[in-house]
């Protein structure tokens, strides 16, 4: 029996309680008014095993925007549609030691986005999604994910209105520079698409089902799956990626909405929702939960 399959609800419950005490050190983001409404005490976990076994715990009815977690899946989507050679003509795969919305890093790299998990890379890839405008691109992408993963994601229009109302000046500056250096074809469509896909929302179970695409055979091209998992391992948690590769050893991606997905290749996916973030934008409680579970079950891919 695989390691995730041996998990019991009792064990999960104990690790959730432990993680919730650490979650108190996180802070709910207040830059986007709609995100600021999240209760810092919300905590949800869904574990989706290759065998079909599922374990859910906590506030699993909460619907939250995937925010930056979606970057993982826009990368996968484009790899599946255009192939690695084309996609990595648009963005690199190098880790970043600067914040996820750093213009300085982009300028020092002469306009080439360092990787798809930071904003410059994700905005560049949003510019390349199939579809004539942002709304069509988001719809096609969301439909593709739902069909492939069997999840029920949808665009949260209220969240999108809140994001548009407080559009990030850093993202505007990044998009302007990307346009100047020839990486964007249409600045406004790229930014609009990026904001829309970040507001694709669902429950923690939906996020675990997405993660399963990257954990199990037969759903996507194996080469693309390996590429995405590798990029997540080195870039998925921003500047903290290397630290957590050592401490946890699983491909992971976080978002400022409080979502986190961790991939256990060949076994399944672990999704968490905990809206309190650390100063890098990673959900404190979610990472604490995955760390406890990964260490106890010895899940590191680097074993």
- Give the C-alpha separation, 40 to 130, whole Å: 36
**Average per-residue pLDDT for the chain:** 97
Maximum distance among all alpha carbons in the chain?
Answer: 55
- Long-range (24+ apart) CB contacts under 8 A made by 55-59 are 55/7, 55/9, 55/12, 56/204, 56/205, 57/9, 57/12, 57/13, 57/16, 58/16, 58/204, 58/273, 59/273
Non-local (6+) Cβ contacts of 201 within 8 A are 63, 64, 65, 66, 153, 154, 155, 156, 159, 257
CB 118 within 8 A of CB 235: yes
Tokens of 276: 């309190």
Q: How far is CA 283 from CA 29, 39, 234, 262, in A?
A: 10, 13, 17, 13
Q: How far is CA 199 from CA 142, 153, 194, 216, in A?
A: 11, 10, 9, 26
Q: Could you tell me which of 114, 108, 26, 39 has the C-alpha nearest to residue 71?
A: 114
- The pairing of strands 54-58 and 64-65 is unpaired
Model pLDDT, residue 240: 94
Model pLDDT, residue 116: 98
Read off the pTM: 0.97
- Give the C-alpha separation, 76 to 120, whole Å: 17
First-to-last alpha carbon distance for the chain, in angstroms, is: 18
Instruction: Using DSSP, state whether 120 is helix, strand or coil.
Output: helix
CB burial of residue 94 (10 Å; 0-12, 13-18, 19+): middle
CB 237 within 8 A of CB 255: no
Strands of 154-155's sheet, edge to edge?
A: 64-65, 200-202, 154-155
Secondary structure letter of residue 59 according to DSSP: S
Please list the pLDDT of the chain residue by residue as tens digits (303 residues): 899 999 999 999 999 999 999 999 999 999 999 999 999 999 999 999 999 999 999 999 999 999 999 999 999 999 999 999 999 999 999 999 899 999 999 999 999 999 999 999 999 999 999 999 999 999 999 999 999 999 999 999 999 999 999 999 999 999 999 999 999 999 999 999 999 999 999 999 999 999 999 999 999 999 999 999 999 999 999 999 999 999 999 999 999 999 999 999 999 999 999 999 999 999 999 999 999 999 999 999 997
- Give the C-alpha separation, 99 to 101, whole Å: 6
Q: Could you tell me which of 238, 197, 217, 254 has the C-alpha nearest to residue 74?
A: 197
């Amino acid at each position: 029996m695989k390691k995730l399959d041996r998990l019991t609800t009792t064990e999960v419950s104990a690790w959730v309680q432990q993680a919730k005490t650490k979650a108190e050190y996180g802070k709910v983001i207040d830059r986007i008014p709609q995100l600021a409404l999240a209760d810092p005490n919300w905590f949800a976990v869904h574990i989706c095993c290759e065998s079909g076994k599922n374990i859910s715990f906590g506030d699993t009815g909460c619907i939250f925007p995937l925010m930056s977690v979606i970057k993982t899946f826009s990368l996968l989507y484009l790899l599946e549609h255009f192939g690695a050679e084309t996609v990595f003509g648009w963005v690199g795969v190098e880790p970043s030691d600067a914040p996820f919305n750093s213009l300085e890093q982009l300028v020092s790299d002469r306009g080439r986005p360092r990787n798809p998990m930071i904003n410059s890379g994700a905005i560049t890839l949003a510019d390349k999604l199939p579809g004539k405008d942002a709304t069509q691109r988001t719809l096609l992408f969301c439909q593709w994910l739902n069909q492939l993963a069997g999840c029920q994601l949808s665009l949260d229009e209220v969240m999108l209105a809140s994001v548009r109302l407080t559009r990030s000046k850093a993202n505007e500056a990044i998009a302007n520079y990307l346009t100047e250096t020839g990486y964007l074809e249409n600045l406004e469509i790229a930014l609009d698409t990026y904001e829309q896909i970040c507001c694709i929302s669902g429950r923690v179970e939906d996020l675990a089902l997405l993660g399963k695409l990257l954990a199990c055979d037969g759903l996507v091209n194996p080469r693309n799956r390996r590429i995405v998992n590798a990029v997540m391992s080195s870039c998925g948690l921003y500047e903290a990626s290397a630290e957590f590769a050592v401490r946890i050893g699983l491909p992971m991606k976080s978002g400022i909405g409080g979502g986190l997905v961790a991939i256990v290749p060949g076994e399944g996916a672990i999704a968490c929702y905990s809206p309190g973030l650390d100063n890098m934008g990673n959900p404190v409680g979610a990472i604490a939960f995955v760390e406890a579970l990964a260490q106890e079950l010895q899940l590191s891919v680097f074993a």
